Structure 1
Amino acid sequence: MSNETHVTSLTLETIEKALQGSAVALRSITGYQPAGGQGDKVFPPTYEGGAYAWEERILDGVRVKCVLLDSVQSQANRMELEIYDAWESGDLNVPVITVAFDDEELHKRFTVSSLHAPHRLADALLRDSEINGKPFKETEIGKALRSSDPSHATQIFRYCPTALLFGMWHSTELEKNTLGVKFARAIVSEIIGIDAVPGVKTGSRLDPAGITKSSGPIFKAVDGGWTLDETKAVKEKDKPVLWEKEGSDKAEKGTPAMINHGNIPPSISVIEKGEPGGVSIRKAEQTTVISLPALRRLRFPLDGELRSRPEVDVAARTVLAALALFAATGIRERGADLRSRCLLVSTTTFEWELLDKPMEEPKRYTLTRSEALQLLHDAIAKAKDVGIRWKEEEIVFNPSDELMELVKRSQNVVSTHKNDGKKTAKTKRSSGEA
């Protein structure tokens, strides 16, 4: 008898039965290699001090040195953008709440949606916005946010279902001695590099104009730029101020390198643990897990009902599971171009496993993005049939006057920084801008 597990297409009925039963999770594990081939360097994300996130993990009973290539938070952002792109293209009608920063005095106009904001419906950008002159807190959405919890998740489903998938904590809402509305993540995903070895850092630049170090000195000009003319330079204690970059070597003050001109001699340095020089890996692995118990904890009483009904709970949970499957499948098909010099190619097929009974071999399912989208549409239709639905029209808020002014000042700081780095740093410290 063959030990090979049969792979079938994932159906809506399978998801519904899993949610009604005792199944633990839907899981997808995908293997990757660098696009340049095995042994090619990839560059992980850097954290404070330019460090990589190194750790040892136990794989097949052996301690293995690993490095984080894409965090849970980053993967959640990618999945939310997949949902947003589907909404923007018209493939999917999901709730979207937008704050529009549209003012002539802004250097850059922009919008932020509930699928972009890091804290989703509980984000400060929404909290400090208004609609038709009514503050967010006093709107139907604001009131729904404060009155929701896992046993009353209907309103969050209606306005921001992704908060029920990727988690949300309204930590600034300290009413009645509570810690605010809190929903745990129901889906987690990350990509790690396995058997990771630190690389070396190299640097060089040949200036095509042949500008030499001795051609300076470079002074900070009164008009905000740079100058070679001492008479046009900023003065401190009657002396012209040499141009320097924040954090640069004092010996380099006033050299063309400070304004990005001149040659950089070729250099090489062995990279110690935590310092950026890229890594080589045996393989990369993406693991995505959808927690079915987390979805089962959510209940959806309809308007006017004290308790939820089982058929409504199952329908809403199925929509959320289908939404998670669509987002996770979509980012896999989109490709793992994580950042500059971190392009990965899949070495395994995209499959989902249903972890059900203990010691039982997981059932395996195939699922494409288009199939996942159809599952989601079918789940939404069934949810409507039992009376639970989400908001299908975009809701647009405007920032409060105070928030708009804060953004204007911040953009002015950034604009000033381009012309006068030292002045900007001083402004940030005095105004509290980070």
Structure 2
Amino acid sequence: MTTLDLAMLLGACTPGGAATLTSVTELTPAEGEHGGVAPARFVNGRSATYAYEKRFIDGAVAHTVLIDSKGSQLNRVEQEIAVAIADGAEPLASTPRISVEYGDGFVREYDYTLPHRLFDGHIRAGSIDGEPVTRNATYLAARNATTADVRPILELGPTALALGGWDSTRKARQGRYRSVLTGEIIGVLADQGPDATEVPKRGGARVDPVAASVRLPGKQLKALLDDQEAELSAKTIEKIQKEIKAAGSGTVSASMLGLGAIPPSLTGLGLVACSRIIRSHVVSFSALRQLRFGGGPEADAACRALLVSYALAGLARADSALDLRANCNLREAGPTRVSIDARHGHSVDLEPLSVEQADALLTAAIDRAREVAGIRWDGQVFEVLGNEVIVDHADADAED
């Protein structure tokens, strides 16, 4: 079986080359086929639900559930890239990046850990040398870049080009770049009622070995609240204060402060049974070929190959990690099937990339982009000082 190499990528990144590279893996519950899995949850009105869809599976229409969305899969790629960079693992540690530092014990964040990447609000609200970052020439060049020349982004925050970015709040000249890597995990549902969307309820409880119930007079509960107020959310404080006021001279449950037991109740969404679980990813060379980097066709192909190699290095790590959420422990049921489009209905089967192979491919792509395009890819960090007003008014319980 053919191993993906830089020459193949360069060919795919040149006009007339392949449209896509596709990776598909059959997964299964770690417990075996009897195991249920917890799909991704979504809010529908005021209640939680799962995303059900009809798909073609082996030529027939089937009821499926979304176990992990495109956005979540890309976040997992970013997370693995962030870990590799933090560990100093080359070649990913050489990735250009933007940092936002708030200080006072807050963890430094980077464009690849922030939701809107290069254009994230935390970056735009920050400053450099006392001046707003939005007035900085380097950052402004990246914001003003277009697909005709995105080199300023490639050397500042390339994750936005590989995994997508949109400068959505800007009044004009909004940068909008689609992700060249997409992916999802779906489950083919077993029998779950006539419309295949009946999910059993699952219960939860809390055991307190000290006291099954703790009810306190309002004054005493208020004293406990005052002791912990600095570490509680505004929403929790407000709710407890209302309970105390409503109780008058009576007692109030201290459960909101984590005291006392909570009896079992069947109120949560349960697990789903799947006959098959399928993970798929697609790299779009067609999307990559819309990007130019100001150096001519050979340089453009090298920069595109660099971006796709960067994405594949993160994907190789995310696929091997396979960490989704509680009650969704999966393992690979068979080998990953990888193929690259060969045009006119043909494709070439490829060997799945290991982390080591993906890193070697990225190293070769970096060297090529440096050689023919003069790209600076040396782990440079564009440091932004975060606006303290944001963290001073952060609220973990905010509904929006």
> Shorter-chain TM-score: which interval?
0.7 to 0.9
Q: Given the superposition, is the C-alpha separation of residues 87 and 206 from structure 1 closer, same or farther in structure 2, using an over 3 Å criterion? A: closer
Which residue in 2 is equivalent to 1:409? 393
Which residue in 2 is equivalent to 1:342? 328
Which residue in 1 is equivalent to 2:236? none
Q: Given the superposition, is the C-alpha separation of residues 114 and 205 from structure 1 closer, same or farther in structure 2, using an over 3 Å criterion? A: closer
Q: Given the superposition, is the C-alpha separation of residues 235 and 373 from structure 1 closer, same or farther in structure 2, using an over 3 Å criterion? A: closer
- The question of 1:240 aligning with 2:240 is answered no
The SS at the match of 1:325 is helix
Distance in 2, Cα, partners of 1:234 & 1:292: 58
Contact 2:162 2:311 (C-alpha < 8 Å) held by counterparts: yes
- The question of 1:78 aligning with 2:79 is answered no
Q: Deviations over 1:148-195 (max 9, x none)?
A: 1111111111111111111111112213xx4x1111121101111112
The SS at the match of 1:396 is strand
TM-score normalised over the length of structure 1:
0.78
Gap regions ≥5 residues in structure 2: 193-198, 228-241
Distance in 1, Cα, partners of 2:113 & 2:149: 24
Contact 1:43 1:340 (C-alpha < 8 Å) held by counterparts: yes
Q: Deviations over 1:349-373 (max 9, x none)?
A: 2342102222324433331110110
Gap regions ≥5 residues in structure 1: 1-6, 228-232, 244-253, 270-274, 302-307, 418-427
Q: Deviations over 1:280-299 (max 9, x none)?
A: 11121111000011011110
Which residue in 2 is equivalent to 1:420? none
- The question of 1:398 aligning with 2:399 is answered no
Larger radius of gyration: 1
Deviates most, 93-102 or 80-89:
80-89
Distance in 2, Cα, partners of 1:79 & 1:376: 15
Q: Given the superposition, is the C-alpha separation of residues 356 and 130 from structure 1 closer, same or farther in structure 2, using an over 3 Å criterion? A: same
Which residue in 2 is equivalent to 1:202? 203
- The question of 1:122 aligning with 2:119 is answered yes
Contact 2:142 2:156 (C-alpha < 8 Å) held by counterparts: no
Which residue in 1 is equivalent to 2:231? none
Q: Given the superposition, is the C-alpha separation of residues 241 and 283 from structure 1 closer, same or farther in structure 2, using an over 3 Å criterion? A: farther
Which residue in 1 is equivalent to 2:354? 368
TM-score normalised over the length of structure 2:
0.84
Equivalent positions of 1:301-340 (< 5 A) are 301=294, 308-334=295-321, 336-340=322-326
The SS at the match of 1:57 is strand
Contact 1:149 1:183 (C-alpha < 8 Å) held by counterparts: no
The SS at the match of 1:405 is helix
* Aligned residue-pair number: 370
Q: CA RMSD in A?
A: 2.7
Identity across the alignment (%): 29
Deviates most, 256-265 or 151-160:
256-265
Distance in 1, Cα, partners of 2:293 & 2:115: 25
- Give 1:326 shift: 1.2
Contact 1:201 1:277 (C-alpha < 8 Å) held by counterparts: yes
Which residue in 1 is equivalent to 2:103? 102
Contact 1:199 1:280 (C-alpha < 8 Å) held by counterparts: no
Which residue in 2 is equivalent to 1:131? 128
Residue 285 of structure 2 is aligned with which of 288, 292, 295? Answer: 292
Which residue in 2 is equivalent to 1:171? 168
The SS at the match of 1:202 is strand
Which residue in 2 is equivalent to 1:140? 137
Residue 383 of structure 1 is aligned with which of 369, 372, 395? Answer: 369
The SS at the match of 1:116 is coil
Residue 41 of structure 1 is aligned with which of 36, 41, 57? Answer: 36
Q: Given the superposition, is the C-alpha separation of residues 387 and 61 from structure 1 closer, same or farther in structure 2, using an over 3 Å criterion? A: closer
Contact 2:155 2:377 (C-alpha < 8 Å) held by counterparts: yes
Which residue in 2 is equivalent to 1:64? 62
Q: Deviations over 1:59-96 (max 9, x none)?
A: 22322121111111111111112222222222221012
Contact 1:159 1:390 (C-alpha < 8 Å) held by counterparts: no
RCO (CA 8 Å, sep 6+): is it higher in 1 or 2? 2
The SS at the match of 2:36 is coil
